[in-house]
Amino acid sequence: MILMNKIGALRVKLRDRLIRFCAEDLVKASRVRHSNRTFGRKQPQSLPLSPAQQQEILDYWRPYRKMDKELRWFAFYNAICSDKTQLKRYIPDHIFYGEVDLYFTSPRRCEALDDKNLYDMYFQDVKMPRTIIRVINGQPLDEQYQPITMEQALERCADAQRVVCKDATLSSGGHGVRFFDFSQCSVEDLKQHLSGNASVNVQEAINQHETLNRIHDKSINTLRIMSLFYNGKVHILSSVLRMGRDGSRVDNASSGGIVCGINTDGTLKEFAFDTTGRRWAQHPQGTVFKGTFIEGYDKCCALIKRIAGRFCTATRLISWDFAVGEDGEPILIEVNLTYGEVDFHQMCNGPIFGELTEEIISRVYQKSK
């Protein structure tokens, strides 16, 4: 009987493992297809690789995988990167999302945790925009998760004058974000929006630091910082400033924004980029990027190192979005626990893993084997 019980338990364990592996394969295939479609839609500028460059890239990646059909990604980065010796270290999007990100994250766990309506529980000790009301499964709740009526919810929002309404789950690229200024619109507009969404978080609008406001005052321009919890240490892999342009209310590159790398001292790099790889030495509103100091950047990095470990059961690779308040203090806007965008990081700052590249890809492909 004991033996039969052990065999039964083993069968269940093997079945669950098979289901998990099949699910991972489906996620991987979906991410690879999406990356390839996105690359085609961007129509990015490219610089053809020389025969020597092609051979160097193929030799570098040969211990891990074939790269014969993937060289278009390197041609894209070849048009951007200034240090050609680093070209082989760039990670193509579909490899990052389909291999690397899946090594460091559990998409199922991340999906369960990635809900803006839960941020007030995760980050009670972190400055965030004040939640006015939230809608969970169609039910309006106050900031303390207590049920309220729709009329009470609308009244609270109207009292705040300006609010930002965000889809609490499954949002990206600035989609699902709506702004309501009740000096210019009616509460009925917000009611209609809330009634059509089952999961929404409504926050008080914030005022950003004067430097960021000067760059583009129609959008909250955020710092996107990617961190990796690796070998007992939180590494800040890459940091960029995302900026709206042409009056857009959002700063996402996929919605027309531009992105500029941030140096370790908090100053901006020389060029910003859009999704096609086009360079911008200054913002259309006039700010020259090179040397512009971003107040609060060092505090954002310190905060990430303090709180990144809270998500280690689900992910070690996180993309954080911070605004900087008028007082220069970080304001946490969003946490991307998986599938954080990589291409604009590499456009601005070079290979995402830098000197850790060989070690990281070795670990990823050893696990795959």
Q: How many Å apart are CA 23 and CA 38, to the nearest integer?
A: 23
Q: How many Å apart are CA 90 and CA 96, to the nearest integer?
A: 10
Q: Where do the domains of the chain lie? A: 131-204
Q: What is the pTM of this model?
A: 0.90
The alpha-helical segments, DSSP class H, found in 124-229 are 150-160, 187-195, 210-215
Q: What is the 3-state secondary structure (H, E, C) of 110-121?
A: HHHHCCHHHHHH
Contacting residues for 275 by C-beta, under 8 A, at least 6 apart: 42, 44, 253, 254, 343, 344
Higher pLDDT, 19 or 135: 135
Give the relative orientation of helices 71-78 and 51-61 as an angle to the nearest 10 degrees.
Answer: 120
Of 40-54, 58-72, 93-107, 315-329, least confident by mean pLDDT is 40-54
Higher pLDDT, 101 or 42: 101
Instruction: Please say if the pLDDT value at position 12 is more than 60.
Output: no
Beta strands in the chain (DSSP E): 131-136, 139-142, 162-167, 177-181, 200-204, 222-230, 233-243, 258-262, 268-273, 279-280, 317-324, 330-336
pLDDT tens track for 150-172 = 999 999 999 999 999 999 997 77
pLDDT, mean over the chain: 91
In this prediction, residues 323-347 reach a mean pLDDT of 97
Instruction: Please say if the pLDDT value at position 298 is more than 60.
Output: yes
Torsion 258-264-268-271 (CA) sign: negative
In this prediction, residues 87-94 reach a mean pLDDT of 96
For residue 367 the two structure tokens come to 């696990």
Say whether domain 131-204 belongs to CATH 3.30.1490: yes
From first CA to last CA, the distance across the chain in angstroms is: 37
CA angle 232–235–238, rounded 5-degree value: 160
Return the pLDDT at 302. 98
Confidence band of 57 (pLDDT split at 50, 70, 90): very high
